[in-house]
Structure 1
Amino acid sequence: MTDRICEFAYGRGTKTFAVPDEDVLAEVRTADFPVIENIPEAVLEAVRHPIGSPALEEIVKLGDTVAFICNDPTRVANSFDFMPVLVNELNRLGVPDANMKIVFALGTHREMTDDEIVAQVGADVAGRLKTYNSVSTRSEDFDYFGTTSRGTPVWINKELCNVDHVILTGTIVHHYFSGYGGGRKAILPGCAAMETVRVNHSFMLDEHAKLGVTDGNPCYEDQMEGVALFAKGRSLFLFNAVLNARHRFVGMFAGDYRAAHREACKFVDRVYGAVIPKAADLVIASCGGYPKDINVYQMQKTMENASCAVRDGGVVILLAECVEGSGSAVLEETFRRLKTPEAIKAELEKNFRIGANKAYAITRPIEKAHYILVTGLDKTLAHDMLFTAAVDTVPEALEIAKTYTGDHPSVILMPEGSLTVPRIEH
Structure 2
Amino acid sequence: MNKEYKMKYGKDELSFSLDSSLIVDELVIKKFPELPDPAAAIREAIRNPIDSKPLNKIVKPGQTVAFIVNDPTRVANSYVFMPILLDELNAVGIPDEDMRIVFALGTHRLMTEQEMIEAVSPAVAKRVKMYNSNCRNKEDFQFFGTTSRGTPVYFNKLVTEVDHIICTGNIVHHFFSGFGGGRKAMLPGVAYYETVRKNHSMMLDPNAVIGKLEGNPIYHDQVEGAEMCRPSFLLNVVLNEKKKFLKVFAGDYIKAHQVACEFVNEVYGARIKQEADLVIATCGGYPKDINVYQLQKTMDNAWCAVKPGGMVILLGECIEGTGSELYEKTMQKYKTPAEVETAIRTDFQIGAHKAYAVTRLMNKAEFVLVSSLDPQLAKTLLFTPAKDMNEALQLAFKKLGSHPSITLMPMGSFTVPHM
Matched ranges for 1:345-364 at <5 A:
345-364=341-360
Seq. identity, %? 53
Q: Secondary structure at the match of 2:399?
A: helix
Counterpart check, 1:390 vs 2:389: no
Q: Please say if 1:190 is aligned against 2:189.
A: yes
Structure 2: how far apart are the matches of 1:417 and 1:189? 24
**Structure-2 residue corresponding to 1:110:** 109
Matched, 1:61 2:60: yes
Q: Alignment RMSD, CA only?
A: 0.8
Q: Which runs of 5+ in 2 are unaligned?
A: none
Counterpart of 2:403 in structure 1: which amino acid?
A: H
Give the TM-score, by structure 2 length: 0.99
Residue 4 of structure 1: how far off its partner (Å): 2.5
Partner of 1:86: 85
Task: State yes or no: 1:248 paired with 2:223.
Answer: no
Runs of 4+ in structure 1 off by over 3 angstroms are none
Paired amino acid for 2:247: G
User: Which one-letter code corresponds to 1:23 in the other structure?
Assistant: L
Tell me how far apart the structure 2 counterparts of residues 219 and 380 of structure 1 sit (CA, whole Å). Answer: 34
Residues 302-332 of structure 1, C-alpha deviation per residue, up to 9 Å, x if partnerless?
0000001000010100000000000000000
Distance 2:108 2:242 in 1: 25
Q: For 2:337 and 2:391, how far apart are their aligned partners in 1?
A: 26
1:111-140 CA-to-partner distances (Å, cap 9, x unmatched) read: 100000011101010111011100100100
- Supply the distance in 1 between the matched residues of 2:374 and 2:91 (Cα, whole angstroms): 52
Matched, 1:205 2:200: no
Partner amino acid for 2:130? T
Q: Per the alignment, in what secondary structure is the counterpart of residue 214 of structure 2?
A: coil
Q: CA deviation at 1:367?
A: 1.0
The 5-angstrom pairing of residues 203-282 of structure 1 reads 203-231=202-230, 236-282=232-278
In the alignment, which residue of structure 2 is the partner of 1:412? 407
Distance 1:47 1:392 in 2: 48
Match of 1:120 in 2: 119
Match in the other structure for 2:32? 33
Amino acid at match of 1:192: A
| 299, 324, 343: which one aligns with 1:328 | 324
Superposition deviation, residue 93 in structure 1:
1.5
With 56-65 and 6-15 compared, the bigger mean Cα shift is at: 56-65
Task: Supply the distance in 2 between the matched residues of 1:403 and 1:116 (Cα, whole angstroms).
Answer: 44
Partner SS for 1:359: helix
Q: How does 1:296-375 map to 2 (within 5 A)?
A: 296-375=292-371
Distance 1:4 1:287 in 2: 21
Whole-angstrom CA distance in 2 between matches of 1:347 and 1:365: 16
Which secondary structure does the structure 2 equivalent of 1:315 belong to?
strand
Q: Distance in 1 between matches of 2:414 and 2:315?
A: 14
C-alpha displacement of 1:339? 1.3
- Structure 1, gaps ≥5 residues long: none
- Give the total of aligned pairs: 419
- Alignment-derived partner of residue 403 in structure 1: 398
> Which deviations, in whole Å up to 9, do the C-alpha atoms of 1:374-424 show, x marking residues without a partner?
11011111000111x212211110000112211111110000000000111
Residue aligned with 2:310, SS: strand
| Structure 1 residue aligned with 2:45 | 46
Q: What is the CA distance between 1:31 and its match in structure 2?
A: 0.8
Aligned to 1:19: 18
* Cα-to-partner distance string for 1:48-92 (whole Å, 9 max, x where unaligned): 000010111211212321100000111111111111111111111
Partner SS for 2:139: helix
Partner Cα distance (1:284, 1:203) in 2: 30
CA displacement at 1:26 relative to structure 2:
1.0
Q: For residues 248-278 of structure 1, give each alpha carbon's deviation from its aligned partner in whole angstroms, at most 9, with x where no partner exists.
A: 0101000000000000000000000011100
Deviation track 1:174-228 (CA, whole Å, cap 9, x = no partner) reads 0000000000000000000000000000000111100001111111111111111
Letter in 1 for 2:227: A
Query: Following TM superposition, by how much is the alpha carbon of 1:244 offset from its aligned partner in structure 2, in angstroms?
Result: 0.2
Aligned to 2:358, the other structure's residue is in SS state helix
